[in-house]
Amino acid sequence: MNEQRPSLFDRAKEVLVGGVNSPVRAFGAVGGEPVIIERASGARLFDADGNEYLDFIGSWGAMILGHAHPAVSQAVAEQAAQGTSYGLTSELEIELAETIRSALPSVERIRFVSSGTEAAMSAIRLARGFARRPAILKFEGGYHGHADSFLVQAGSGLATLGIASSAGVPAAFAALTLNAPYNDARAVERIFATRRHEIAAVIVEPVAANMGVVPPEPGFLEGLRELTRRYGALLVFDEVITGFRLAWGGAQNAYRIQPDLTVLGKIIGGGMPVAAYGGRADLMKLMAPEGPVYQAGTLSGNPLAMRAGLATLAELRRPGVYEGLAARTQRLADGLREAAKSAGVAAQINVAGSLLTLFFAAEPVRDYASAKRSDTARFSRFFREMRARGILLPPSQFEALFLSAAHTDADIDRAIAAARESFAALAGA
Ligand code: KE4
């Protein structure tokens, strides 16, 4: 970098708030100047300073095939030549909707939108319209995007910044968002017992990934299904991360739990702005233009994005893709556990499919309270040690590593070797 010329990040900070378009990208929790990417391919990112990184962020889960997959790039290029947005329906939207419905039987009707926030926000509005109740129940450390209803004890970037909720959300509004500890169905039952007539829906990440990865304990999801049925509330699975990652379809197929509504995003757009909410037909028919609950979007079902999603899902249907992802994730987890142990570093590694989080914690992490007991200073040092060795982890203790089909066994072994050296550096510090 030329000393006279301001860095790209300096330039960015002159015009983008914090130099970023999403807070976690500022590397505030891990220190150092954030990377600014020039291009990406397969499992690799290349930054503007010519550095190459093995990528475990994967655009926060969207890039399950790896970056610039030929089938996806070709689909987008072809579609671009036929128009990028019509503002009217195209067959591509019907095709992607049919593909998703074939994978998720609980999704009888679906609506595409442009971000996970928009999808989750719309699903909650629908639930409130259906149940005619004002409150929702989420989980401490759960993250469902940045709509006002969700920014109460949320995970992801709020956890990273160490803030429980956001300024700008009226107290009266925040009071309608109830929180329970993840993996604690009895706490949910106690809340329903006193506020059953207020709660329209329970929204849950079937595998939590925004407090770091925390899988559901046996009986937790089943308990939520039973409690929501008993008290007439809807069960909303936020599968923005787990959808088409944990399995073909998503966590609801892996855990065999049928929610009333499902929120999707990331993978179904293959890196383009696509998200969706869907579920029981009798619920979805309450959405305009059929029903009284309103939601709309200029770029919803965008043809360019639909093509990227269709190409991505077509590749995920190939035999062995999920098995390979899970096997390589387990290989990484085993290697990290062994490396931490031999360095005498206290670490907990939570895995679900091709999601993984390395917590710098001595005790198991099963909810947000235990996740927050992690040594975030140690995580930050580990992040920087790994970055120096060309391995780019998500820049937060409270996020997930996302593996892709482009990560090879050699890539995994390289990451484990870098982790061995990084743990040693921590132990020696
Ligand atoms: P978006 O509005 O960012 O597309 O999606 C919101 C969302 C909803 N539900 C879940 C389970 C999510 O994980 C997300 C967004 N994920 C974060 C990373 N954990 C996005 C990264 C960022 O905020 O920059």
Q: Whose CA is nearest to atom 1 of ligand 1?
A: 116
Domain with CATH 3.40.640.10 in the chain: 70-316
* CA atoms within 13 Å, Cβ hemisphere of 108: 9
pLDDT in tens, 122-134: 999 999 999 999 9
Q: Which CATH superfamily is domain 6-68+319-428 in?
A: Aspartate Aminotransferase, domain 1 (3.90.1150.10)
Element (H, E) at 334: helix 321-343
Q: Please tell me the predicted confidence (pLDDT) of residue 123.
A: 98
CA dihedral 124, 126, 132, 134 (to 10 degrees): 20
Q: Please tell me the predicted confidence (pLDDT) of residue 377.
A: 97
Residues (pLDDT < 70) of the chain are 1-5
Written out in words, the top-level CATH class of the domain with range 70-316 is alpha beta
Q: Please tell me the predicted confidence (pLDDT) of residue 151.
A: 93
- Catalytic annotation, pick one of 266, 322, 367, 375: 266
Q: Please tell me the predicted confidence (pLDDT) of residue 4.
A: 64
Q: Please tell me the predicted confidence (pLDDT) of residue 1.
A: 47
Residue found by looking up tokens 């998503």 in the block? 250
Cα 61 to Cα 256: distance, rounded to the nearest angstrom: 22
Q: Please tell me the predicted confidence (pLDDT) of residue 238.
A: 98
Query: Is 159 touching ligand 1 by the criterion CB < 6 Å?
Result: no
Q: Whose CA is nearest to atom 5 of ligand 1?
A: 116
Q: Please tell me the predicted confidence (pLDDT) of residue 2.
A: 52
φ, ψ for residue 292 (rounded to 5)?
Answer: -85, -5
Query: Is 120 touching ligand 1 by the criterion CB < 6 Å?
Result: yes
Ligand 1 pocket mutation, candidates 124, 143, 236, 268, criterion most atoms within 8 A of CB: 143
Q: Please tell me the predicted confidence (pLDDT) of residue 3.
A: 57
pTM, 2 dp: 0.97
Ligand 1 nearest-atom number relative to CA 265: 4
Element (H, E) at 229: helix 220-231
Domain with CATH 3.90.1150.10 in the chain: 6-68+319-428
Query: Is 250 touching ligand 1 by the criterion CB < 6 Å?
Result: no
Q: Please tell me the predicted confidence (pLDDT) of residue 153.
A: 87
Q: Please tell me the predicted confidence (pLDDT) of residue 25.
A: 97
